[in-house]
Chain A
Amino acid sequence: MATEAILSGRGLTKRFGGLVAVRDVDLDVSKGEIFGLIGPNGAGKSTLFRLIAGIMRPSAGVVTFGGTVISGRRTNAVCRLGVVATHQIVRPFRNLSVLDNVMVGAFFGRRPRPAQERARAFGLESLEVCGLADRAQSAARTLNLAGQKRLEIARALATEPQVLLLDEVLAGLNPTETDRTLELVRTINGRGVTIVIVEHNLRAIRGVCSRLAVLDEGRKIAEGSPDEALRDPKVVEAYLGPGHA
C-alpha cells in the first residue's frame, strides 16, 4: 500500500506482571482505510487497542499519529489530537440526554473548542449520521444496547476524529443491527475517517476491512488483505488448532 501511514506502532509490548499480553507488535494503519484487528480470545486485541487509544501505556514501544508520539500522553490529549476510541462495554453518561452525551464530545474533543450553538450543531449532525436524531432528547439510559453502541460511535464522531478506534462494536447485536452498524462504519469511513476495528465476528469484518492484522498470544502472526490473512496457515491453526491447516 503506497499511501502514508497515519497511525503506527513500533515494538509495542504490554506486560501485566509475568503475563505478556502484547509482544513486540509493529503496526501501520494507512490514511483512509478500515483496518481490522482480529484474533482468538485472549490474543491481546483489546490490550493492543488500549495502547493505541492512549488508555493504557505500553511497557515498551511507541505509538505515533501523523509523526507525533502519542503513547504516554493523557487519553484526553490523544482524543484532542484526533484519535478517539469507543468502549467495548458501552459507557454512556446514563442520566444525560442523548444529545448532551454527544455534545460532550463536540465540546471537548475538537480543536478549537466550539461555543454552545456550534457544539449543538455538531452533536445533532453526528446523531443524524448514526441514526439517533429522533432520540436526541431521551435520557441515554433509555436506549437499548444497539442504541447505546451507536451512541458510543456518535459521541466519538462528534469529536471530529481523524482516526476512529472501534472496540467490538458488533458484540451482542443481532444480524440486522450488525448490518446497520457495518453500514454506519462504511459511511463514516466515506467521510474520510480512518477506522481501526477490533472484532470477533470474522464474517462481518471480512466484508468491511481493507486490511487485517491477526494476533495470537500477543504476537502479530499475519497481516494483509482479509482473504490473504484468513487463509494464512498460521491463522487457521490459531483459530482451529494444529492439523487443520
Chain B
Amino acid sequence: MFKSIAWAVAAAVALAVPFVFPGAEYLREVLFLIFLYGAMATGWNILGGFTGQVSFGHAAFLGIGAYTTTILTDAGWSVWATLPVAGTLAAIFSLLIGPPAFRLRGPYFAIATIGIGEATRLIALNWSSLTGGASGLTLTGVASPLAQYYAALVLCAGAVAIASWIKRSRFGYALAAVRADPDAAETLGVNTTVAKTQALFISAFVLGSAGSVYAMHNLFISPDSTFGFSTSISFVIMPIIGGIGTIAGPLLGAAIFTGLREQLEANPLLAQYNLDLLVFGVLLCAIVLFEPQGLLGMFDRLTAFVRRSVATARRPKIAGRDGN
C-alpha cells in the first residue's frame, strides 16, 4: 500500500516538473537522463537481475534501436513512428543470439555477451553504406526537448510496469527458479531455455526503444557511443548500485549514476583522463564486496537495525542481565 502510493507520487511529480518549473532546463535534462537510463537499467535487470543471466553486451540492443531510428528518419519516417520499430528490431535480433548464448552458463555466458556486443560494434563500424561507419550518423528529424522528456518518462514507467508485472506473474516464478538453480527448475517442468529467451526478448525490446529515444536526444550517433563496451558496462553498474533483481534498485542506480557522472564530467581534470570510469569501478568493487544487494539492501539492513534497536530499548530490563 505504502509502496503503491510512493510510486504514484513519484509519477505525478515527474509529470508535473516541466509545468511547475518551465525555465529549469538543467533540471529537466537531468531528469530526462535519469528516466532514460532508468529504463535501460530496468530492461537489463529483467535478464541480469530477475533471471540471473549477467550480460555485458546489451549495448548491442541500444545500438540497434538508435541506428534504426536514425536511418528510418533519414528515409522519411516520422521520428515517433520509428520508436516501436527500434524496439522490435532489437527484440528480433535477441532471438538470433539468445538460443546459442544460453547454451553457456554463468561466467561463460557473460564472456559470450561481450563478444556479441563487440561483434555488433564492428559490424556498425564496417557496414559504412548503412551506418556511415566511424563517422557516424546525424538524426535529421527533431523531437522537442519537452516531447523527449515525456517519451523517456513513459518509457521508464512502461519498463517498470513490465518488470513489476513479471515479478508477480507465473513467468516471474520461472525466472526466479532459473536464477536460483537452472537444473532444479528444469526437473520441475520449467523450460529454462525458453524462459531465458523470453526474458532476453523483453529486455532487448526495452533497450531498443531506449536506443531510439537516445538517438532523438543526442542527434549524433557513432558505433563507439552506442555499441561501445562502456555503454554495456553502465547497464550492469546501475542495477548493482541500486539493488540487483529489484524494481526500484535500477532506478535508484540510474539516478546515482547519472548524477555522479554529471559531476565527474564537469570536473576538467577527471574528464581529461577519463577518471570517471575509475570512480565507478571503485564504487562497483565496494558494493559487490560489502553490500551485494546494493543500496536497497543497505537500506533494508538499516531499517531492520533501527527497528531492532527500538524494540530492545523498549523491552523491560531483566534483573541480573545487565549486572557484573
CA distance A75 to B180 in the complex (A): 17
Q: Does A105 contact B (CB under 8 A)?
A: yes
Q: Does B154 contact A (CB under 8 A)?
A: no
CA distance A104 to B177 in the complex (A): 7
Interface residue from B183, B188, B191 paired with A104 (Cβ < 8 Å): B188
Asked whether A105 lies within 8 Å of B183 as measured between CB atoms, the reply is no
Q: 1/0 per residue A108-120: CB within 8 Å of B?
A: 1110010110010
Known: A84-B188, A105-B189. A100 touches B176 (CB 8 A): yes
Q: Within 8 Å CB of A100, what residues of B? A: 173, 176
Asked whether B190 lies within 8 Å of A104 as measured between CB atoms, the reply is yes
Q: Does B186 contact A (CB under 8 A)?
A: yes
Q: 1/0 per residue A94-110: CB within 8 Å of B?
A: 11100010011101111
Interface residue from A74, A95, A108, A113 paired with B180 (Cβ < 8 Å): A95
Closest to B193 in A: A74
Q: Within 8 Å CB of B169, what residues of A? A: 116
Interface residue from A85, A94, A104, A110 paired with B185 (Cβ < 8 Å): A104
Q: How many residues of A contact B (CB 8 A)?
A: 32
Q: 1/0 per residue A57-76: CB within 8 Å of B?
A: 00000000000000000111
Asked whether A109 lies within 8 Å of B189 as measured between CB atoms, the reply is yes
B181 to chain A, nearest CB (A): 5
Q: Does B170 contact A (CB under 8 A)?
A: yes
A219 to chain B, nearest CB (A): 27
CA distance A31 to B189 in the complex (A): 22
Interface residue from A75, A94, A96, A107 paired with B187 (Cβ < 8 Å): A75
Q: Within 8 Å CB of A53, what residues of B? A: 187
B188 to chain A, nearest CB (A): 4
Asked whether B174 lies within 8 Å of A107 as measured between CB atoms, the reply is yes
Q: Within 8 Å CB of A143, what residues of B? A: none
Asked whether A79 lies within 8 Å of B189 as measured between CB atoms, the reply is yes
CA distance A94 to B185 in the complex (A): 12
Interface residue from A76, A87, A93, A96 paired with B191 (Cβ < 8 Å): A76
Q: Within 8 Å CB of A77, what residues of B? A: 191
Interface residues of B in 149-185 (CB under 8 A from A): 169-170, 173-174, 176-177, 180-181, 183-185
A-B contact count (CB 8 A): 79
Q: Does B234 contact A (CB under 8 A)?
A: no
Q: Does A55 contact B (CB under 8 A)?
A: yes
Q: How many residues of B contact A (CB 8 A)?
A: 18
Q: Within 8 Å CB of B69, what residues of A? A: none
Asked whether A76 lies within 8 Å of B177 as measured between CB atoms, the reply is no
Q: Within 8 Å CB of A93, what residues of B? A: 176-177, 180-181, 184-185
Asked whether B188 lies within 8 Å of A96 as measured between CB atoms, the reply is no
Known: A93-B180, A94-B180. A84 touches B187 (CB 8 A): yes
Asked whether B181 lies within 8 Å of A91 as measured between CB atoms, the reply is yes
Asked whether B187 lies within 8 Å of A79 as measured between CB atoms, the reply is yes
Q: Does B192 contact A (CB under 8 A)?
A: yes
CA distance A149 to B184 in the complex (A): 13
CA distance A113 to B177 in the complex (A): 16
CA distance A76 to B187 in the complex (A): 5
Q: Within 8 Å CB of B181, what residues of A? A: 91-93
Q: Does A80 contact B (CB under 8 A)?
A: yes
Asked whether B186 lies within 8 Å of A74 as measured between CB atoms, the reply is yes
Other 16 A-B pairs with CB < 8 A, given A74-B186, A75-B187, A103-B173: A55-B183, A76-B187, A79-B187, A79-B189, A84-B188, A87-B184, A93-B180, A93-B181, A93-B185, A104-B173, A104-B190, A108-B174, A108-B185, A108-B190, A109-B189, A116-B170
Q: Sorted from nearest, which 6 A-B pairs have the closest CB atoms?
A: A109-B189, A93-B180, A108-B189, A79-B189, A91-B184, A105-B188
A-B contact pairs, 22 of them (CB 8 A): A55-B183, A74-B186, A76-B187, A84-B188, A87-B183, A91-B181, A91-B184, A93-B180, A93-B185, A95-B180, A96-B176, A104-B173, A104-B177, A107-B173, A108-B188, A108-B190, A109-B189, A110-B189, A116-B170, A119-B170, A155-B188, A159-B188
